[in-house]
Amino acid sequence: MAQEVGGEAEVMLMNHELQECSPKVSFPRLGWVNCEFAMDWCKKSATVGAAWLVRDSRGWIQEHSRRSFSSISSVLDAKLAVFLWVIESMTSLKKNKVVFVSDFQDMVDAVLHPIHWPALQFQASELRVALQDLEVWNLQVVVRGSLRGVSFITQSVNNLGLWQSYVVAGHPRWLDLLFVDERAPSL
């Protein structure tokens, strides 16, 4: 049964790519968007701060969102909840060509190579089902330091008690300098 699941996943993933772990986020191709996402899990309170942001091919932030999750008892449960929320958000926003950018190496590997990750079979299956709602997608794994902007947003949940969820156009104004510096130079 595991070989059948692995074989089906390999066929399903033929049109999708994995961009190996890189030190920094690269901007997507024209017509695509990057969806950078991160989380901040607090074991003591079992809460998770999560955020995503969508960049166009010039590095401009189109939208971003923040959310909190409660009663999350493990980092693995936190990653699954956040990743599913991010995919659902991109589907709701009608993003058709999405590069998901995170530091969730284990989850990405489990989605792309389920036969090598039997302990994450449930999580990988849930993510693959959610990804089917998108036209085309890629997964990019980067080092956490490359996700500074979205990480600052996630930390605002647990560190500052900002529990209210939202989706808004552009980037948070309190991070203006960070995001303006990250954009590609105008031609």
Tell me how crowded residue 70 is: count the other CB atoms within 10 A of its CB. 9
Q: What is the pLDDT of residue 182?
A: 61
pLDDT digits (tens, 9 = 90+) for 79-137: 999 999 999 999 999 999 999 999 999 999 999 999 999 999 999 999 999 999 999 99
Residue 185 banded pLDDT, cuts 50, 70, 90 = low
Is 80 exceeded by the pLDDT of residue 163?
Answer: yes
Instruction: Compute the mean pLDDT over every residue in the chain, rounded to the nearest whole number.
Output: 84
Distance CA 19, CA 164 (A): 33
Please return the burial class of 130, using the count of CB atoms within 10 Å of its CB with bins 0-12, 13-18 and 19+.
middle
For residue 185, give the DSSP letter. Answer: P
Q: What is the pLDDT of residue 180?
A: 66
Q: Is the pTM of this model over 0.85?
A: no
The pLDDT of residue 5:
40
Q: Please, which residues bridge with residue 61 across strands?
A: 55
Q: Phi and psi dihedrals of 183, rounded to 5? A: -70, 155
Dihedral, CA atoms, 59, 25, 125, 42, nearest 10 degrees? -100
